[in-house]
């Protein structure tokens, strides 16, 4: 029995590649430990698109996607600021704020965030509707050892977690590309049609490590 428990613990902490089609990560507890690390070998990004779907009822600040490098804890961060009612995109510690979004509780939201070092432009697509583009003074690539975390916001490379910023809810369909996705591709993602899966992170072939209380479950749907 002890051997089986040890093997189960080792399996839970080991990176695995899975097709998560029709599934979701459930984050049921608020603490500074529960998280999912998404694994990629890529360590340089001159452009980024990240798309995900999330479902929560929390009414406080929380991180949605946290990519840190050895040189910047907020190399690419998507963060909800409850006080100012704004979605924030942080690129190499430079923040862009997007307001006027209908970020309702207890429903799925599709969020895509793009950044291009060639233009300096950051843009958010919220449930298929684009925001205005914002400019950030970052004209170099994101480089260095990459750590990507769901469920927590990194204030240090791979750590510095704060339970007051932890995500509680469900998350699904996480994809990441090393280029700016076209508006048509983004709309196809939002509408759950055929689209080119992420070439950095692909929900259908995702390598990840779960720490603490995070579950992989069938994605919830409404029955009629």
Tell me: the pLDDT tens digits for 91-101? 999 999 999 99
Lowest-pLDDT range of 72-81, 93-102, 133-142: 133-142
Report pLDDT for 11: 41
CB within 8 Å of 117: residues ≥ 6 apart: 46, 47, 138, 139, 140, 141
0.75 exceeded by pTM: yes
Distances (CA, A) of 177 to 11, 50, 84, 99, 146: 28, 7, 29, 25, 14
Average pLDDT on 172-192 reads 96
Does domain 18-213 match CATH 2.60.120.200?
yes
Report pLDDT for 221: 67
Distances (CA, A) of 93 to 59, 139, 159: 24, 13, 16
Averaged confidence pLDDT in the chain = 91
Q: Between 220 and 11, where is the model more confident?
A: 220
140: left (phi over 0), alpha (psi -120 to 50) or beta: beta
Lowest-pLDDT range of 43-47, 109-113, 138-142: 138-142
For the chain, the domains span 18-213
Q: What is the pLDDT confidence band of residue 157, given thresholds at 50, 70 and 90? A: very high
Q: What is the pLDDT confidence band of residue 10, given thresholds at 50, 70 and 90? A: very low
With beta carbons less than 8 A apart as the criterion, state whether 180 and 112 touch: no
Report pLDDT for 5: 32
- Share of residues in the chain with pLDDT > 90 (%): 84
């Amino acid at each position: 029995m002890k051997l089986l428990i040890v093997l189960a613990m080792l399996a839970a902490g080991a990176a695995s590649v899975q097709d998560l089609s029709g599934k979701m990560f459930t984050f049921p507890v608020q603490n500074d430990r529960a998280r999912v690390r998404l694994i990629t070998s890529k360590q340089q990004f001159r452009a980024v698109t990240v798309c995900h779907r999330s479902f929560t009822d929390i009414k406080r600040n929380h991180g949605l996607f946290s990519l840190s490098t050895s040189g910047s804890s907020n190399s690419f961060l998507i963060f909800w600021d409850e006080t100012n009612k704004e979605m924030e995109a942080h690129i190499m510690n430079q923040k862009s704020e997007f307001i006027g979004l209908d970020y309702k509780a207890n429903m799925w939201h599709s969020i895509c965030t793009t950044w291009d070092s060639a233009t300096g432009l950051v843009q958010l697509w919220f449930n298929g509707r684009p925001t205005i583009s914002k400019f950030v003074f970052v004209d170099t690539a994101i480089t260095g050892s990459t750590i990507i975390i769901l469920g927590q916001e990194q204030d240090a490379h791979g750590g510095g977690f704060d339970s007051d910023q932890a995500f509680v809810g469900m998350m699904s369909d996480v994809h990441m590309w090393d280029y700016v996705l076209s508006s048509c591709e983004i709309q196809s993602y939002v509408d759950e049609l055929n689209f080119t899966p992420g070439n950095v992170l692909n929900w259908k072939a995702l390598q990840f490590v779960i720490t603490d209380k995070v579950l992989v479950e069938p994605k919830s749907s409404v029955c009629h």
